[in-house]
Amino acid sequence: MNEAIKPERYPLHLKQYIWALMVVWTAFIILVLLWNYNDHKRETHNIAYHYATTSFEKDLVYRRWAAHHGGVYVPVSDHTPASPYLSHIKERNLTTPLGRQLTLMNPAYMTRQVQELGQKQYGLRGHITSLTPIRPENAPDPWEVKVLNAFQQDGATEISSVEDIDNASYMRLMRPMITEKNCLKCHASQGYKTGDIRGGISVSVPMAPLWKLTKSRLVSNFSGYAILWFAGLSIILLGGRRLVLNFQGRERAEDALKKANNELELRVQERTSELERNLEELKRTEDRRDKEFTAVTDIINSILHDELDDAETEKRVLNACLTATDSAYGMIGVINEHGKYDTTTYDSQTIQDCAFPEALTWELSTGMAIRGVWGWPMLHGKPLICNDLSAHSDRCGCPEGHVPIERFLGVPLKNKEEDVVGMVAVANKSGGYSKADSDILSRLATIMMVSRQHRETMMQLKAKSTALEVSKKELEAFAYSISHDLRTPLRSMEGFSMALLEDCSDKLDEQGKGYIDRICKATGRMAQLIDDILKLSRITRSEMACKTVNLSLLSQDIVSELKKEQPERQAEFIISESLTVEGDERLLKIALENLLGNAWKFTEKKQPATITFGACQMQNMSNEDGSDSELVYFVQDNGAGFNMAYAEKLFGAFQRLHSSDEFPGTGIGLATVQRIIHRHGGRIWAEAESGKGATFYFTI
């Protein structure tokens, strides 16, 4: 009989029939599998949609019931505090005859708590939202914004789709909330009228459990079809005798699948528990960081606005330390000049729980020898976490009447030189301290030290500002003295000299007349020097009026004036067009007058003379790597030039590199230019060679 079923013994047409039957059977199985897969997928979506619809209708019924009754009153608790968004309702809070505090829970409040409970117990997410929510937490996510816009713009009445939330797949359903008469009690203030779409309720059903169930069914079905396919082939090839064995194999496969499924569910449960523990720890960490951030922001804002002195800063920092670490007690202190510890700040709870009077508490807390567990951070310059003081080798006990210390965290205070100057310490946190608590305390301690340094710096700046103001007033007085007290004798000298020359010229010889002429010229130079000094003083003290200034036009005006003064001079001026900057037009004109005037003066003996004003891109040498380029303006001439060995003296007041007989001047011009450029936040420098001209560069 076995020989009768061997393929090689089959007739040719039987072999073809068997192969055709196998192909048809295989194609049939594949089509069935594809249909089965699509059917399960569609069924899963329908189930998820049904769950979402049921949840939505349940939420809507709750909301309508609460809206119909105008809300419900519930006992006030930490979980259900009085809603700040119902403060305009006079009967928001009630007290029962037995003294119980009740608060009004509006439909949105009630629906939100029901949704939160549903999410916690069954994983169903619900969200009441609006494009203009009263409660910031009700703001829509991107998908909800798109759906709400569709409600308002397209008139849609329901939108559902499968979306990802927090890397998990959800069937999301949303329908609009139509303003009803009962809704106006809370939402009339937003301008809604009956029939308006004021928002929507979204429901999100997690797809993971449904996909898991579907996958299990698909795996089971696929396995079954595989076995069926194999069984069909076996029937075709081997006959009914193999059918029994295939059924046995199928049962074994199902048992193995069931066992594997049970093991998978167990692993999923273990992993879920682990994730929940990690999530709880992460939430605690975020709470600590939120508390720390709030405290730090408050302290920094107060520091920047100069609202806190050192004592108030210490109080704020200590309160922040207690809040961020959930500690019962805390203190801040410094090491005095005798190497002893003086407590500068206690929290109110510590003083309250001490058995001795407050005055005695402060007396006992100064001049203490640094020792024991509490002194360890200052002696070693490192933070100390001690959750079991009895086991610490440095424990020396507390004085009678001191608050009992069970757990301790101390962080040393260090100055800019990293010397230990004090300590911040907290104690008795429930559950003990961790490295995260130590890091928080260290950051807050650093903020306190930065605050002290900030106050010291501000005091120094105020002192310098006061000194600068005094110096400014002295400069104004000096300028006044120059303007009034020195001009009077100069005018007298010049006047009497001219009178002597006019009235007694016949009595004076040529030498006497020469002396008088020299006196007049000297008084003229002195008057010019006084004028230049006053100009320099005014440039330093005058207010700047910044706007867009066309340097090219200013230069052309200055050149025109220079040519009018000496029309006989032959000189070529090259001025680049459309050079504009942001600055004070009056001051910039003075700077260009000095630079172009110097170029005009020092090219007087040069034929032909060439003077250029332009701009170019140069490397910014103020950067360490010199990689960035900047726009640099320049005034260039081919005149007398100067020796670069004396370039450092170039911009000093009354500094001259040429004699007054050779080139007249007071030595104030370049000092004036430098101050103007510096007031515009720029730099100025020069390059030159004797007899070959000079180039003055400046930035603005």
Question: CA 442 to CA 438: how far, in whole Å?
Answer: 6
DSSP H/E element including 583? strand 580-584
Q: 596 vs 105, 117, 151, 559, 694, CA distance in Å?
A: 81, 82, 71, 8, 12
pTM of the complete model: 0.36
Q: Name residues whose C-beta falls within 8 Å of residue 620's C-beta, 6 or more positions apart in sequence.
A: 626, 628, 629, 630
Task: Please give the order of strands across the beta sheet that includes 101-105.
Answer: 72-75, 101-105, 93-95
Q: 346 vs 224, 315, 351, 352, 409, CA distance in Å?
A: 75, 8, 7, 10, 15
For residue 138, the tally of other CB atoms under 10 A from its CB is: 17
CA dihedral 17, 19, 21, 26 (to 10 degrees): -170
What is residue 633's predicted lDDT score, i.e. its pLDDT?
96
For the chain, the straight-line distance linking the first and the last C-alpha, in angstroms and rounded, comes to: 108
CB contact at 8 A, 129 and 138: yes
Report helix, strand or coil for 93. Answer: strand
Question: CA 159 to CA 182: how far, in whole Å?
Answer: 25
366 backbone dihedrals φ, ψ, rounded to 5°? -120, 150
Burial of residue 27 (number of CB atoms within 10 Å: 0-12, 13-18, 19+): exposed
Q: Which candidate, 398, 401, 322, 397, places its Cα nearest to that of 354? A: 401
Alpha helices in 4-141 (DSSP H): 12-68, 107-122
Sign of the Cα pseudo-torsion (633, 635, 638, 644, in order): negative
Q: Which candidate, 311, 319, 315, places its Cα nearest to that of 295? A: 319
Question: CA 509 to CA 498: how far, in whole Å?
Answer: 15
Question: CA 585 to CA 593: how far, in whole Å?
Answer: 12
Strands 609-619 and 571-575: parallel
What is residue 528's predicted lDDT score, i.e. its pLDDT?
64
Q: Which two tokens stand for residue 615?
A: 């701009």
Q: Which two tokens stand for residue 547?
A: 């706007």
For residue 71, the tally of other CB atoms under 10 A from its CB is: 24
Sign of the Cα pseudo-torsion (457, 293, 130, 206, in order): positive
Report helix, strand or coil for 123. Answer: coil
| pLDDT averages per 10-residue partition of the chain, 700 residues | 42 61 87 88 88 84 79 86 80 86 83 78 82 82 89 86 88 85 64 74 87 84 86 72 52 85 89 86 74 68 62 83 88 91 87 72 79 92 92 82 88 90 93 89 86 79 76 63 63 76 77 78 68 64 80 93 86 91 89 90 85 89 63 92 77 61 66 87 89 91
Q: Which candidate, 55, 212, 27, 215, places its Cα nearest to that of 127? A: 55
Question: CA 302 to CA 656: how far, in whole Å?
Answer: 52
Report helix, strand or coil for 140. Answer: coil
Q: Which two tokens stand for residue 159?
A: 């939108």
Q: 396 vs 365, 375, 423, CA distance in Å?
A: 16, 10, 18
Burial of residue 398 (number of CB atoms within 10 Å: 0-12, 13-18, 19+): middle
Report helix, strand or coil for 641. Answer: coil
Task: Please give the order of strands across the beta sheet that includes 609-619.
Answer: 571-575, 609-619, 629-637, 693-698, 684-689
Burial of residue 397 (number of CB atoms within 10 Å: 0-12, 13-18, 19+): exposed
Q: Which candidate, 619, 615, 620, 611, places its Cα nearest to that of 633? A: 615
CA atoms lying within 13 Å on the CB side of residue 163 = 18
For residue 561, the tally of other CB atoms under 10 A from its CB is: 11
172 backbone dihedrals φ, ψ, rounded to 5°? -105, 130
Burial of residue 608 (number of CB atoms within 10 Å: 0-12, 13-18, 19+): exposed
Q: Name residues whose C-beta falls within 8 Å of residue 126's C-beta, 6 or more positions apart in sequence.
A: 55, 59, 111, 112, 114, 115, 118, 119, 201, 202, 203, 204
What is residue 413's predicted lDDT score, i.e. its pLDDT?
93
Q: Which candidate, 429, 440, 426, places its Cα nearest to that of 288? A: 440
Q: Which two tokens stand for residue 699?
A: 């930035």
Strands (E), 56-182: 72-75, 93-95, 101-105, 125-129, 159-165, 168-178
Q: Name residues whose C-beta falls within 8 Å of residue 700's C-beta, 6 or more positions apart in sequence.
A: 581, 582, 583, 588, 633, 677, 680, 681, 682
In degrees, to the nearest 5, what angle opens at C-alpha 66 toward C-alphas 60 and 71? 145
CA 394 to the chain's CA centroid = 43
Question: CA 53 to CA 2: how far, in whole Å?
Answer: 61
Report helix, strand or coil for 630. Answer: strand
